[in-house]
Amino acid sequence: MTPKTAVILAAGLGTRMGGKPKGLLKVAGREILYRTIYLLQKNGVEGFVIVTNEKYAGLYREFIERHGFSAELVINPEPEKGNGHSLHLAGEHVSGKFILVMSDHVYGEEFVAEAVKGDGLIADRRPRWADVSEATKAKVKDGRVEDIGKSLREWDAVDTGFFVLNESIFEVTSELEQELNGDYALSEVMKRTRLPVTFVDGLPWTDVDTPSDLKRARKMLIKSAPKGTGDGFISRHLNRKVSTEISYLLAEKVTPNQMTAVTFAVGILSAVLTLISPPLAGITYQLSSILDGVDGELARAQLRASRLGGYIDSLLDRYVDGAFLALLAYSTLTESLWYLVALIALLGSVMVSYSTERFKGAFCRDAYKEVTALRKLPGKRDERIFLTMLFLLYPVETSIKALFLLLAIITNLRVAVTAYLISRKVSHPKTI
């Protein structure tokens, strides 16, 4: 069971970030805290307790009201003391099991989904994004915190700033309050209780201390946004590498819907260019194929993914492909027989997508997840577009005819194999 409450420590004065509260800095167009609360809510957390200082309380109150979050503010009047004191102050507002999380850490979807299921300190033995030299490290023995600190020589894992705790922790903070006059760090609490450790390794999370950390966090969100299961060979090895760089540059300024419109416009432009210069048209078409990944990447990084967005994007892709093939045929072919081949290639090109989408319509499941063999089948959109570009680089009549013939064969063969694989899978009663 995921805890229903989360405590967020946001009392730090953030001296390296120009005095702005770090939780309210934006990464990929969203405040760090918006992101954390959104993802925790998605995983079942219902209420939030934000511990902040007097200086930032107004900003955080405004933030909570603007988003309509179910959160209460607790003021730490002595934010200069160690952050253990901030946790202690939250004690009156929580009961049972709860999550404790830092306001200056940026977490990815997959990380949060795993971390909420853990117990004690969530620690990462293979941190991919965090700056390890600046991070707090933990030495673990028998599944519990043995030692913890920034400058440990020997350590097992890095503190992710994410904890799953129980109210009994406040007995320990009460002791420490008395012994240390309220000035003690979370790490003291962890050592004293020998907190259990759960390893969540290699998933996206990082903390933000300096402006350059913000850029690293943005890159993390773009790169670790879950990819579409329908990505083909060209997409995995070329398009995604470029599109994530573009998404990184646009993440703070451009919305997914704007990007969908731009991509569609570039695609239609490429179709029109077939009338002027097939090589240029091919290159522009491939460019539109790269851009086609950006709207989805932005949507996931900005927490703006929507099924409607995916629906419209998918219709527009079909129209770009249709327009490209229709205008390429119109501008280069003369014989009826080759027009017949072009008509069949256009049909097949839409049917590749139809044959997997119609499966989803019938079974409410992703064809690529249910029938994994489909992933290896050639003929996906990214591959077809790359092939089209190659054939158009030195356009002679033969190469364009060969292209149409090849597309007509590849696409319709792929549809036939898809229907066969799906029939075989569905007839196997254990799975669907």
Q: Residues interacting with its own copies, by CB under 8 A? A: 307-308, 310-312, 314-315, 318-319, 322, 325-327, 329-330, 333-334, 336-337, 339-340, 342-344, 346-347, 350-351, 353-355, 357-364, 415, 419, 422-423, 426-427
CB 251 to its own copies: min, Å: 24
**Is 233 or 338 the residue whose CB approaches its own copies more closely?**
338
**Is 149 or 310 the residue whose CB approaches its own copies more closely?**
310
CB 275 to its own copies: min, Å: 11
Residue from 374, 356, 355, 239 nearest 296 by CA:
239
Contact between 72 and 51 (Cβ < 8 Å): no
Q: Which two tokens stand for residue 61?
A: 């109150």
Helix (H) or strand (E) holding 161: strand 157-166
CB 345 to its own copies: min, Å: 10
Q: Which two tokens stand for residue 118?
A: 């853990």
Q: Which two tokens stand for residue 83?
A: 């952050």
**Is 103 or 411 the residue whose CB approaches its own copies more closely?**
411
**Is 168 or 336 the residue whose CB approaches its own copies more closely?**
336
Q: Note the helical H segments in 225-277.
A: 233-234, 240-250, 256-273
**Is 284 or 353 the residue whose CB approaches its own copies more closely?**
353
CB 79 to its own copies: min, Å: 39
Q: Which two tokens stand for residue 325?
A: 């093939």
Residue from 352, 388, 357, 415 nearest 267 by CA:
388
**Helix, strand, or coil here: 431?**
coil
Measure the CA–CA gap between 138 and 157, rounded to whole angstroms: 6
Helix (H) or strand (E) holding 322: helix 307-332
* β 205-207/105-107 pair status: antiparallel
CB 106 to its own copies: min, Å: 28
Contact between 61 and 73 (Cβ < 8 Å): yes
In the chain, the largest separation of any two C-alpha atoms, in whole Å, equals 92
**Is 151 or 336 the residue whose CB approaches its own copies more closely?**
336
CB 295 to its own copies: min, Å: 15
**Is 184 or 404 the residue whose CB approaches its own copies more closely?**
404
CB 287 to its own copies: min, Å: 22
**Is 238 or 323 the residue whose CB approaches its own copies more closely?**
323
Q: How deeply is 78 buried, as exposed, middle or buried, from its count of CB atoms within 10 A (0-12, 13-18, 19+)?
A: middle
CA 77 to chain CA mean position, Å: 36
Contact between 297 and 250 (Cβ < 8 Å): no
CB 260 to its own copies: min, Å: 12
